[in-house]
Structure 1
Amino acid sequence: MSYEQYKSEITIDIKECLNEMGTQPVLFVGSGLSKRYFNSPNWIELLQWLQNECSYIPHEVGYYLQGDYQLEEIGTEFSQYYRKWAWDGKERFPEELFHPYVEKSSYIKYKIKEYFESITPISEEEINNDIHKAEIKHLKAIQPHAIITTNYDTFLETIFNEYQPIIGQRVLKPDTMSIGEIFKIHGCVNEYKELVFDRDDYELFLNKKKYLSAKLLTFFAEHPLLFVGYSGSDENIQRILSDIDEIISSEGELIPNIYFLEFNNQLMEDSVPKKEKVFVINGKEVRVKYIEAKEFGWVFEAFSINKAIENVHPKLLRALFARTFQLVRSDIPRKSVEVDFQLIERAVSEESGLPNLYGVSLLDDPSQINMKYPFMLTQVGKELGYSNWHGADRLIKQIKSDQGINIKESDNKYHVTIKIGNSERSKYSIDAIELLRSVQKGENYTLDI
């Protein structure tokens, strides 16, 4: 087996996951992606830069790491020295930072803001590496449902300029739409006082992140997830995976919709990297799909296979969702708008009504397909008593193991692939549910292909 074969197998696996879940991916982006494209620092490198800037800090970062300081504890230590440095040299900072009620960590966060603003590209044209330019093109083409990042910089906003950044404490509010948004869970240099940097910041964030945890659970259950820009030992990865721990298989099974992408510059033509990665979270092994690459373009391209129609922008979808949400939650209950309830009732009771109300056209004649193959795989799973599509998918794989036939690879009485533009959707019939129920119960079954 060669690395090219490995790439082909990974690409097929990603495509199958996208088809089965029928939703756009969610991206989890760490500092490694910014480092790749404009040499942004990781956390330790940022602390080293801060130490070099402030002459009041008595020791190098290594001194604190040897003393078993956590990174946020080093941030707390450095914040105190920056405060003293600022008051002894006010010309280094804006005047408003010296008001009595300014947070003492504001000085070091202001310098972090200045640093990232000085190194972050303000447009894609500033990226000179041709390989990186191609990667960014494929990354944009994914058109993810949402992006979650721990990065402080604004590079993602530059790439995904139709997406709405949700910064700091606003991430924790339940009125975000969760489509076409960049959740900056550790803050952003645009609102530098909100950065999650020192021990107090982390404690506050961890105490208030219940809504974020709920959103992560939703993303895990409904979307393919791609982690990129994190190392395997990154504490942020541990925290994120711990948030979804309660719905991770207790038997250590491979989670089929989480992919962890890691850079490896040592890959050769005959390299065959491993396809799984194991994290130990709360004493339990968590197995996810693992991808190694020294060039990310092919991975991003694989995740863009089922991208949304070109002319549908996240900004438009977000606006439509937000206005509908406001109508249902606020305007109609308060009777602040006139409502034609008969029109709305017709719209929601007829298959074509709601799309027509929104100005969306359906396929010319999908009724026969929808009648014969009404189920997505998630719905099949729920009909069989599972909480998601994973259980049904295992039964399909069992049939392939028993009979040598994968019912998803062709159009047949159990399954059909519907193509819409560049996208594909797998649909299943009641015959598929009956077949899988027989497999589930260990009964004899006949495969009619």
Structure 2
Amino acid sequence: MYSSIKEGVLYMNYSNYKADMVSDINECLNELGTQPVLFIGSGLSKRYFDAPNWIELLEQLQKECPFIPHEVGYYLQDGASLEEIGSEFTDFYRKWAWENKEKFPNELFDASVSKSGYIKFMIASILDSITPESVSDVQSEHYRTEIKLLQEIQPHAIITTNYDMFIDNIFTDYQPIIGQKILKPDTMSIGEIFKIHGSTSEYMDLVFNEEDYELFLQKKKYLSAKLLTFFAEHPLVFIGYSANDKNIQRILSDIDEIISSDGDLIPNIYFLEYNKNLTENDVPSREKVLFINNKEVRIKYIESENFDWVFEAFSANKAWDNVHPKLLRALLARTYKLVRSDIPRRSVEVDFDIIEKAVSDEQSLPKLYGVAMLDDPSQLNLQYPYNLTQIGQQLGYSNWHSANRLIETLYGNEGINIKETDNKYHILIKTGKMEMHKYSRHAVELLEKVDKGEEYTIEL
């Protein structure tokens, strides 16, 4: 048995650990007031329909092509990376294809087509042949239930390095954005599946061999910048990855540079890992420390024998029923086009008096979009206008983490947590299952004094 200690409390069993992690997840959701972003790897596809991992995929590709002289282990013994093996296999597949043209589409033999087209066509064929077309096609009843709980999260967006179409098939209201298209300015970042290593639906653009990865790494910084708001403003959940995955480590290193400081725990990133051997007497660690580029990166860690309770926890503050990501994305897309091109080019008739009135009045703008307000929140919004991210910005920081640390410092100094009650600094707003913490100008003034080390008084 191993145990975990949090704030002086000893957790003696796995049930206590789960309750503690659920509480932590709920607190993160409440603080940010945003939907989670899911980062999904091949482990989830392996879990639900036994899809191959990278080494297993290379082994299948080797068996399909009689021109490849050795098994994958032979190349690994020589110290070749998986990308380098992919490049070796790419050349063998091209030679095989040109001597067996009937096995491949005719268009792949055009001189303008990349030589990697043949092996990527085979990758797509292998994965498409085993990928379930819907949740009902998953064989395990338990997994079908688990997937429905995953859907209930209603994530803000999904990022995946998977090639297969499984995520597309279970989040059917989400728009796939494949490969380098993520860098285009018209992506809305909501209700989208960012397939950053490509998709079998457009197999020529798969990131597979050494040349593909070199190109991907050249543009990785642009990708990280594009997804910066995800990392700073949403709970981020890694599912189906190994902590040793170097692609994930590179991304986490970028996130750590942006968000964390001095090796602090990144408070809104969770790494979910499956462990079938867990018992009621076990209490896993609540954090994982990764050593990347000679630097510690600390993230929250969830170890579980099944994912049901984890997905339920992340769906606790899900968006309202019948609000579809497709609708939200369409609304944002049309607004973006209106502002970016239609109005500047005068291709539409615009009544600027109506627009000016709408954007200056918090009640009029939702009505402009056809959204009805549940009640009159004007007085509440005047008294508590800030979320925690905005508090941080008022104090000169770029995100919510620094403001949250100041609240924790205040609690450590005075034994008072201003978030625990409704008071002059803070209020908890509940709408159905949604909860949101809002803060007043008094909170900004108090935390500014804490930040500067000045004297202060607390008036609850």
Please state which band the TM-score falls in when normalised by the shorter chain: over 0.9
Shift of 1:362: 1.8
Shift of 1:408: 1.3
Question: Which piece of structure 1 moves more, 406-415 or 349-358?
Answer: 406-415
Shift of 1:389: 1.2
Match of 2:264 in 1: 253
Shift of 1:404: 3.1
1:63 paired to 2:74: yes
Structure 1 unaligned blocks of 5 or more: none
What letter is aligned with 2:286?
A: K
1:108 paired to 2:119: yes
Match of 1:241 in 2: 252
- Secondary structure of the 1:408 match is coil
Shift of 1:421: 2.1
Q: Could you give the per-residue CA deviations for residues 8-64 of structure 1, whole angstroms, max 9, x where no partner exists?
A: 111111111111111111111100000000001111110011111111111111111
Contact 1:140–1:159 under 8 Å retained in 2: yes
- Secondary structure of the 1:409 match is coil
Correspondences of 1:137-176 after superposition (within 5 Å): 137-176=148-187
Contact 1:48–1:60 under 8 Å retained in 2: yes
Match of 1:295 in 2: 306
Shift of 1:246: 2.8
Correspondences of 1:161-240 after superposition (within 5 Å): 161-240=172-251
Distance 1:394 1:207 in 2: 35
Shift of 1:443: 4.0
Question: Which piece of structure 1 moves more, 431-440 or 78-87?
Answer: 431-440
Distance 1:285 1:221 in 2: 19
- Secondary structure of the 2:301 match is strand
Q: Pairwise CA RMSD of aligned residues?
A: 1.4
Structure 2 unaligned blocks of 5 or more: 1-11
Contact 1:225–1:258 under 8 Å retained in 2: yes
Shift of 1:439: 2.6
Distance 1:267 1:218 in 2: 35
Match of 1:12 in 2: 23
Distance 1:169 1:431 in 2: 45
Shift of 1:240: 1.6
> 1:130 is matched with which residue: 133, 137, 141?
141
Q: 1:2 to 1:376 in 2, by over 3 A?
A: same
Match of 1:359 in 2: 370
Distance 2:180 2:383 in 1: 47
Distance 2:96 2:458 in 1: 76
- Secondary structure of the 2:357 match is helix
Match of 1:277 in 2: 288
Shift of 1:179: 0.7
Distance 2:217 2:296 in 1: 23
1:414 paired to 2:425: yes
Q: Could you give the per-residue CA deviations for residues 223-252 of structure 1, whole angstroms, max 9, x where no partner exists?
A: 110011000101221122233243142300
What letter is aligned with 2:333?
A: A
- Secondary structure of the 2:419 match is helix
> 2:85 is matched with which residue: 71, 74, 78?
74
Distance 2:219 2:445 in 1: 45
- Secondary structure of the 1:407 match is coil
Match of 2:6 in 1: none
Match of 2:39 in 1: 28
Contact 1:248–1:286 under 8 Å retained in 2: no
Contact 1:217–1:243 under 8 Å retained in 2: no
Identical counterparts, % of pairs: 67
Match of 1:441 in 2: 452
Structure 1's consecutive aligned runs of 4 or more residues displaced over 4 angstroms after TM superposition are: none
Correspondences of 1:349-388 after superposition (within 5 Å): 349-388=360-399
Match of 1:304 in 2: 315
Shift of 1:382: 2.1
Distance 2:349 2:259 in 1: 46
Shift of 1:434: 2.7
Shift of 1:210: 4.2
Distance 1:173 1:438 in 2: 42
- Secondary structure of the 2:353 match is helix
Distance 1:17 1:318 in 2: 24
What letter is aligned with 1:308?
A: A
Q: Could you give the per-residue CA deviations for residues 107-134 of structure 1, whole angstroms, max 9, x where no partner exists?
A: 1111111101111001111113232122
> If the length of structure 2 is used for normalisation, what is the TM-score?
0.95
Match of 1:401 in 2: 412
What letter is aligned with 2:167?
A: L
Contact 1:259–1:291 under 8 Å retained in 2: yes
Distance 1:446 1:345 in 2: 41
Match of 1:118 in 2: 129
Question: Which piece of structure 1 moves more, 133-142 or 201-210?
Answer: 201-210
Distance 1:244 1:62 in 2: 34
- Secondary structure of the 2:159 match is strand
What letter is aligned with 1:39?
A: D
Shift of 1:208: 3.0
Question: Which piece of structure 1 moves more, 358-367 or 403-412?
Answer: 403-412
- Secondary structure of the 1:244 match is helix
Shift of 1:158: 1.0
Q: Could you give the per-residue CA deviations for residues 282-340 of structure 1, whole angstroms, max 9, x where no partner exists?
A: 32211111110110111111111111111110000000000000011011111111111
Shift of 1:191: 0.7
Distance 2:19 2:411 in 1: 20
- Secondary structure of the 2:133 match is coil
Shift of 1:281: 2.5
Question: Which piece of structure 1 moves more, 124-133 or 286-295?
Answer: 124-133
Contact 2:253–2:297 under 8 Å retained in 1: no
Contact 1:415–1:427 under 8 Å retained in 2: yes
Distance 1:86 1:403 in 2: 72
Contact 1:248–1:255 under 8 Å retained in 2: yes
Question: Which piece of structure 1 moves more, 167-176 or 316-325?
Answer: 167-176
Contact 2:183–2:226 under 8 Å retained in 1: no
